[in-house]
Amino acid sequence: MELADLILAEMEENPVLEEASLEGVPETAPAERKEDPMERVDMDAYFQEYYENSYIPTNLPPEVREDVPLENIPESGTDLAEHLLWQLSMNAIPPELVEAVQFLIGNLDDDGYLTEPLEALASSGIPLATLERALGALQSFDPPGVGARSIPECLKLQTDEPRLLEALDRCWQKVLARDEAGLEAALGCDTAEVRIMMEALRHLDPHPGRKYTRERPIYVEPDVHIIRRGDAYLAQVNDDGLPKMRINRGYLAMYRDPGLRRDREASHYIEKKLQSAFWLLRSVEQRRRTLQRVAQSIVDHQKAFLDEGPEHLRPLLLRDVAGDVGVHESTVSRVVANKHMQTPRGLFAMRSFFLSGLTSPTGEGYTLDRIKGLIAQIVRAETTGRPLSDARIARILDAQYRLTVARRTVAKYREELGIRPSQERKQTR
């Protein structure tokens, strides 16, 4: 579900949330106002900021509020396997595990589950121990929960809530039945803790792979606009199209009024809706901030591209941006998935700025495409009748560009460029 659809659905289902743009419309609340069971939770502190500073999408400055060109129509979406394989190429996975991770990706179902036991998959010739390590690597990828072998494992991969992890380990059937009393008894916790745990559970996804199913081409509204300010570039999140929302004042007053808290059922209802509203407000704001910080990091790394063009793209890995932002690499992967940036040089998928490559001792970055271009350039400059061997090309790359490229790597890139070996080039010239 798209974020705007999620917000609209929650606002329709949750009376505590309302549109912040409704000026002058009286707020209503039910007649019954009840007791609050969450005595140990400072809900006032939670919601004060979000009522006073309700989440209202940031308006874009006038210079970028123009019609988006028709070039913003992509060819197709990204499916789950492509998304995972891209992360595999962008993460520092030990070389001996790469083939095993690829093999596991090929055995995932549409929901992102590994339905075959590792023991059965080991019959393919990959050692069981290697598959176990590869699965650990795969389960660190985005979307959270991918590579799970059961629903409880899928949910456990998505949360760090201690009580919920314990419940998924010990009391899955009670969790499945939403047996709050049974969970209280089994875990030795109180009603408030169980309700917080169940609310956290509600926001997990037991089908992590479904959002990567292919769809027909759609019109793309950029998620981020890049604005030039002097010599700098600023990343501006595009919140146009997201509903404006805030906490309903009537429900907040009801929660705060001790004299109107005597009906436990109504109190539980309001408490649950306040928790859900707070989670959504906090999540939307966190999503906006993380997207902005990730986009700004990408722009800072790729400033030469924005200044001078595509040939100046630098190598950039997920871990580089993750280090800047202070999040896990899988978070960066999730943030950039199926998102686009409108830059002064056109519209680009955010993940297209992530490129493998090498950095010379002088700090200059060379993407793989640029290295291939250098190889083609060196071959074109060969002396007729004296073609350069792959080893010689590797030495030229080292001497002229200070790039350490193995002979086998040169041979691989040369073949990908469609350039024949030196012996064959000598015979045809």
What pLDDT score was predicted for residue 157? 94
Handedness of CA 409, 329, 10, 112 (dihedral sign): positive
Distance (Å) of CA 228 to CA 1, 2, 81, 225, 236:
33, 29, 36, 10, 11
| Same domain, yes or no: 90 and 163 | yes
Q: Count how many residues are written for the chain.
A: 429
CA-CA distance, 54 to 247, in Å (whole number)?
Answer: 7
Under the banding of pLDDT at 50, 70 and 90, the label for residue 202 is: confident
Q: Does residue 217 fall inside a structural domain?
A: no
Q: What is the DSSP letter of 195?
A: H
Identify the pLDDT of residue 321.
93
**Cα–Cα distance between 174 and 91 in angstroms, integer?**
38
209 found inside a domain: no
**End position of a domain, from candidates 202, 227, 248:** 202
**pLDDT band per the 50, 70, 90 thresholds, residue 325:** very high
Residue 377 pLDDT greater than 60, yes or no: yes
Q: State whether 92 and 156 are in the same domain.
A: yes
Q: Which of 146, 177, 202 is the last residue of a domain?
A: 202
Pairing of strands 17-19, 245-247: antiparallel
Strand, helix or coil for residue 226: strand
High-pLDDT (> 70) share of the chain, %: 81
- Structure confidence at residue 12 (pLDDT): 84
Residue with more model confidence, 375 or 239: 375
pLDDT 10s digits, 98-111: 999 999 998 898 88
- The b/e string for 326-363 (b: 16+ C-beta within 10 A; e otherwise) is ebebbbbbbbbbebbbbbeeebbbbbebbbebbeeeee
Predicted local confidence at residue 50, as pLDDT: 42
Mean pLDDT of 147-175: 90
Enumerate residues 6+ apart whose C-beta is below 8 A from 105: 81, 84, 85, 88, 138
Q: Provide the residue type at 72 as one letter.
A: N
The CA-based angle 52-54-58, given to 5 degrees, is 130
Does residue 73 form part of some domain? no
DSSP 8-state assignment for residue 81:
H
16-38 confidence digits (pLDDT tens): 888 875 444 444 444 443 443 33
- Tell me if 227 is assigned to some domain: no
Residues 99, 184: one domain?
yes
pLDDT value of position 155:
92
Q: Residue 313's domain is classified under what CATH number? A: 1.10.10
Question: What is the per-residue pLDDT for 226?
Answer: 93
Asked whether the predicted pLDDT for residue 63 surpasses 70, the reply is: no
| Gap between the Cα atoms of 104 and 134, Å rounded | 8
**Quick check: is 403 in a domain?**
yes
Q: CA 254, 255, 259 angle in degrees (round to 5)?
A: 65
Range of weakest confidence among 36-40, 82-86, 321-325, 334-338: 36-40
* pLDDT, the chain, mean: 79
Q: Of all residues in the chain, what percent are helix, strand and coil, respectively (each to 5)?
A: 55, 10, 40
User: How many domains does the chain fold into?
Assistant: 4
At residue 102, the pLDDT reads: 92
Residue 41 has pLDDT above 60, yes or no: no
Query: What is the pLDDT at residue 355?
Result: 80
With a cut of 80, say whether residue 71 has pLDDT above it. no
What pLDDT does 315 receive? 85
Q: Identify the residue whose tokens are 């704001």.
A: 285
Taking 70 as the threshold, does the pLDDT of residue 262 lie above it? no
Asked if residue 245 and residue 324 are part of one domain, the reply reads no
Of residues 45 and 418, which shows the higher confidence score?
418
- For position 323, what pLDDT does the model report? 93
For 53, phi then psi, to 5°, come to -120, 65
In tens, the pLDDT along 304-323 reads 889 988 778 888 888 899 99
Q: Is residue 366 part of a domain?
A: yes
Exposure string over 95-105, b if 16+ CB within 10 A, otherwise e: eebeebbebbb
Same domain for 308 and 352, yes or no, is yes
183 in the same domain as 103: yes
**Percent of the chain beyond pLDDT 90?**
20
Alpha carbon distances (Å) from 396 to 380, 381, 399: 14, 12, 5
For residue 383, the domain's CATH number is: 1.10.10.60
What band does 114 get if pLDDT is binned at 50, 70 and 90? very high
Q: Does 198 share its domain with 96?
A: yes
Does a structural domain hold residue 213? Answer: no
Mean pLDDT (whole number) for 249-267? 74
How much is the pLDDT for 428?
59
> How many helices and strands in the chain, by DSSP H and E?
20, 8
CA distances from 121 to 96, 106, 160 (A): 17, 11, 29
Looking at the fold, whether 100 and 146 belong to one and the same domain comes out as yes
Asked whether residue 214 carries a pLDDT value surpassing 80, the answer given is no
Q: What is the mean pLDDT of residues 412-417?
A: 87
Question: Cα–Cα distance between 250 and 342 in angstroms, integer?
Answer: 41
Note whether 153 and 98 are same-domain residues.
Answer: yes
Per-residue pLDDT, 31: 40
Round the CA-based radius of gyration of the chain to a whole number and report it.
Answer: 27
Question: Which three-class secondary structure string do you get for 326-369?
Answer: CCCHHHHHHHHCCCEEEECCEEEEHHHHCECEEECCCCCEEEHH
Query: Which residue among 147, 175, 202 closes a domain?
Result: 202
Task: Decide if 183 is inside a domain.
Answer: yes
Q: What residue numbers bound the domain in which 403 lies?
A: 358-427
**Residues 92 and 196 occupy one common structural domain:** yes
Say if CB 313 and CB 367 are below 8 A apart: yes
Q: Are 275 and 198 in a shared domain?
A: no
Same-domain status, 100 and 137: yes
Q: What is the pLDDT averaged over residues 270-290?
A: 86
SS3 317: coil
